[in-house]
Amino acid sequence: MPERSPLVRGMRDLYAEELASIRIVESVFGDTLKSYGYEHIRLPTMERTALFSRGIGESTDAVAKEMFSFDDETDSLSLRPEGTASCVRAVIDANMYRGNQPKLWYVGSMFRHERPQLGRYREFYQVGAEAFGFNGPDVDAELIRIVQDVWERLEVNEEITLEVNSLGNTASRIRHRDALVEYLEGYREDLDADSQKRLELNPLRILDSKNEHTQQIIERAPNMSDYLDDESKRHFDEFQERLVRFDIRATMNPRLVRGLDYYTHAVFEWNTERLGAQKQVGGGGRYDGLCELLGGAPCAAAGFAIGVDRVALLRNELGLSTPSYTPDVYVLALSDDEDEYARQVAAQLRTTSSYSVRVHQGGGKVKARMRAADRSGARIALIIGAQEAASNQVSLKWLRINREQVTVPVTDLPTTLLNSN
């Protein structure tokens, strides 16, 4: 017997309720972003590895340890670990920001070679938005308001908290970085191995360390907020004022640096306590230097990315309902003679209602046809025998509740179904 080919580790088949709840999250994000004037962009799943190593940074886990990369004839290619670098590349390639301020959103799968667990997969879904050409901080605060709108629509707002921080402009970052390195050098031997490596590559990331001993050391490390220059302070103050005006509650977290190299000024993260170890549902911030870093003209930019799978998990955890993908209605002729009439009834119902309608196929005896209707998961069976076919009628049988079967003219079917919920 040929061997079965098992699912690749960290990959998932998504269907039924799990897919339904992912699609709800994606569609509420899409609708909300559209309502704020953001335009949909579909980005490729694969890019040159260099785009990510330059754009996201060699020192981040997402690039250094977690990329799915391979060589083709000319180049090293990678499955995208996130969407921002591709989005910036697309804007540069099409010169979209010339005389324009594009606001774009995307949704799609991202790939990271992590240890799979609940809420952490090797292929997962993100929805993100990026605004180009705005110096902010009004656009930064609006990005957060958009996400807050989504949390409210998805009924998860009570379970998600927002943390903010400022990384300041480049000059402030450099001053803070120097002070941080000087401080950490004093504890070099006590830092965990990863943090020791980061001391040269990206010392800011050490503030992210989960290592307990390192965390004790960084307790007393110099705070970014003490190194912000006047311009950076103004930017952040205004950002915070706008959040208040937009009715957004946020907590200041001076240790919040985001994993990625390219952030400046405001950075933010959304967390939940309901998903165990996978607390972070999304994050974002301003990255004014990225366009230039990727070979484009200088262009201010800010955005966010949300982990769709985690928001969907959170909705399930809260017991929020998801529509099911089973058909609403199963149309079955009692014999092959009425098959054509059954098909016509189904076709008509599809055009006059939004029900999902399945027609019985594969023939069989009455009992087998009824069993198939029941197994389909449909709520209602439309039964068509010789009598119904002759008189333009259908019989409705409720498959999930105890209700008496009725026979109605086909023209009355939409109203009868509507009143039967």
Burial (CB < 10 A; 0-12, 13-18, 19+), residue 261, is buried
Interface with ligand AMP includes 208 (CB under 6 A)? no
Q: Return the residue of 52, 97, 124, 239 that touches ligand AMP, per CB under 6 A.
A: 124
Cβ closest to ligand AMP, residue 4 vs residue 115: 115
Interacting residues with ligand AMP between 71 and 100 (CB under 6 A): 82
In the complex, what is the shortest distance from the CB of residue 131 to ligand AMP, in angstroms, rounded to a whole number?
Answer: 17
* Adjacent-strand bridge partners of 103: 131
Cβ closest to ligand AMP, residue 280 vs residue 335: 280
Q: Which range in 25-33, 193-201, 204-212, 275-283 contacts ligand AMP by CB under 6 A? A: 275-283
Interface with ligand AMP includes 105 (CB under 6 A)? no
Task: Fill in the DSSP letter of residue 56.
Answer: I
Q: CB-hemisphere CA count at 13 Å for 362?
A: 8
In the complex, what is the shortest distance from the CB of residue 390 to ligand AMP, in angstroms, rounded to a whole number?
Answer: 57
Give the Cβ contact number of residue 323 at 10 Å.
10
Q: Which range in 165-173, 235-243, 279-287, 407-415 contacts ligand AMP by CB under 6 A? A: 279-287
Q: Which residue has the tokens 């098909």?
A: 343
Q: What per-residue string of b and e applies to 268-296 under the rule 16 or more CB within 10 Å gives b?
A: bbbbbebbeebebbbbbbbbbbbbebbeb
Q: Which residue has the tokens 């399945």?
A: 358
> 302: closest CA among 124, 93, 147?
147
Cβ closest to ligand AMP, residue 52 vs residue 187: 52
Contact track, ligand AMP, 290-319, x by CB under 6 A: ---------------x-x-xx---------
In the complex, what is the shortest distance from the CB of residue 4 to ligand AMP, in angstroms, rounded to a whole number?
Answer: 26
In the complex, what is the shortest distance from the CB of residue 280 to ligand AMP, in angstroms, rounded to a whole number?
Answer: 4
Interface with ligand AMP includes 259 (CB under 6 A)? yes
289: CB partners within 8 A, 6+ apart: 170, 262, 264, 298
Q: Return the residue of 88, 281, 331, 349 that touches ligand AMP, per CB under 6 A.
A: 281
CA angle in degrees (0–180, nearest 5) for 143-148-150: 100
Give the Cβ contact number of residue 99 at 10 Å.
7
In the complex, what is the shortest distance from the CB of residue 253 to ligand AMP, in angstroms, rounded to a whole number?
Answer: 15
Positive/negative CA dihedral, 15, 16, 21, 27: positive
Residues that bind ligand AMP in the complex, under the rule CB under 6 A: 82, 112, 114, 119-121, 124, 126, 259, 280-283, 305, 307, 309-310
